[in-house]
Amino acid sequence: MLRLILGAACLLFLACPKSPEENEPTVSDFSLEDFNPNSSTYRQLIGPSSYKGEVSAFYFGDQG
Phi/psi of residue 61, nearest 5 degrees: -125, 170
Question: Is 46 domain-assigned?
Answer: yes
- Cβ–Cβ < 8 Å for 48, 30: yes
Range of the domain at 58: 23-64
Split into its structural domains, the chain has a count of 1
Give the model confidence (pLDDT) of 29-50 as tens digits: 889 898 889 999 999 999 888 8
pLDDT of residue 12: 59
Residue 60 placed within a domain: yes
Distance, CA of 3 to CA of 13 (rounded, Å): 15
Whether pTM > 0.75 for this model: the answer is no
Residue 62 CA to residue 48 CA, distance in Å, equals 20
Residue 59 lies in a domain: yes
Residue 16 lies in a domain: no
